Structure 1
């Protein structure tokens, strides 16, 4: 018996990987993250599979589902939205599984920030403009940020910044970011990236908070800030330059 932790992607069911689809189809138990995983993904589960919505379960309840599957000798497809590498609460689950001696593995998925980049039709790194992407979140009703990861410290780098879980605090975020990026820095919010009701807001740090307030977006949104979002005034990459030595 094994628990397959699977990144189910940002929302569009056809952004599920082939490996993820295969594992879901082979697992008689499927645990999924509530409204963040579309029903079309659950349709890959085998007939008669036990499908459990975990959005109202605490960690102990989720672990009980794992141990029940272990007792029955059933593989589990544990679906998380986006990718497992960030903000998936994976670590606390796998720590429990290790303590119980239950085997598990990980299958990556398309992360929300990548879906937001695609929706904006913007590369987040541009030569001479930004060569780093900082993925972080804003603390309001979430776990405390570790020392040294305060937003102001991260913003001081001036590179592309992607914020999760912060759209309800846009005015606060703008106040922190403007001293580092400037009020005219490009900013965007992509809500429910890749879903049928995807919403894209484009502006600057001076305008984006008002746009968010007017739109009514409250959750499931990525905030992107940085000069690379303009898509202008950058050098061509060395990768395809004429001056680069190429193998014969």
Structure 2
């Protein structure tokens, strides 16, 4: 690891969901830069006593790169710790771009995304036969703009399972877009099941379930305003459904 940056997906919150690779990289790191506003600090408990620790919630990109450059010049092992899996809204692309400009070696260790911790909390399979075989991972438009074809209203016309990051703070707008549809095509109907999971896998995890017709009031009553995942789709309350072919006694293949 010396003279190298390791991007680590720290998982959704529960320290037990940190991967072995992530655990070992943190254990060996001389410098740790972690997303303090989201990463559970307990995932750093096994770090070296001599490790330098920086909370990236209080510094900007230039300062992060400056810390990395200084560490690399001194042949230090650097752990850049992100929440969940860093490939989803992790802002690693812009960091990697700066590292490549400077010919700094890096590696990425994936993590358990909050998408999957949320599904586990809801005890749901996101892809059920003849219900939904597609999962859309997205976010509403906020300070970061989105192409019109990726608006929630447009994506809702597929009526697939949708997992929405960073949307609970504008839950009313999110629900309206999901119901409205786009370009003459229908969105989800108001009876579609929806769930909001705050801090999936954390000790303070909170789950609110409902439909598009009542979820706004339920979320407001629960006072959930941030750090929550929204999941919408029939997979949350499918009723009876066809079993997959995977374990059908008349269907054999090598992937069982």
TM-score between the two structures when normalised by the length of structure 2: 0.94
Q: Which residue number in structure 2 is paired with residue 153 of structure 1?
A: 154
Q: Which residue number in structure 2 is paired with residue 54 of structure 1?
A: 56
CA RMSD, aligned part only?
1.1
Unaligned runs of at least 5 residues, structure 2: 181-186
- Structure 1 distance, partners of 2:155, 2:239, is 23
Is 210-219 or 86-95 further displaced after alignment?
210-219
Label 1:3 to 1:246 Cα distance change in 2 as closer, same or farther (>3 A): closer
Q: Which residue number in structure 2 is paired with residue 75 of structure 1?
A: 77
Q: Contact 2:153–2:179 at 8 Å: present in 1 too? A: no
TM-score between the two structures when normalised by the length of structure 1: 0.96
Count of matched residue positions in the alignment of Structure 1 and Structure 2 = 246
Q: Contact 1:135–1:162 at 8 Å: present in 2 too? A: yes
Q: Which residue number in structure 2 is paired with residue 218 of structure 1?
A: 225
SS in 2 for 1:126: coil
Cα displacement (A) at 1:231:
3.8
The reply to whether residue 198 of structure 1 matches residue 205 of structure 2 is yes
Runs of 4+ aligned residues of structure 1 deviating over 3 Å after TM superposition are none
SS in 2 for 1:238: coil
Q: Contact 1:32–1:54 at 8 Å: present in 2 too? A: yes
- Structure 2 distance, partners of 1:75, 1:147, is 42
Q: Contact 2:194–2:233 at 8 Å: present in 1 too? A: yes
Unaligned runs of at least 5 residues, structure 1: none
Is 209-218 or 237-246 further displaced after alignment?
237-246
Q: Contact 1:122–1:231 at 8 Å: present in 2 too? A: no
Q: Which residue number in structure 2 is paired with residue 5 of structure 1?
A: 7
Q: Contact 1:127–1:237 at 8 Å: present in 2 too? A: yes
Q: Contact 2:199–2:206 at 8 Å: present in 1 too? A: yes
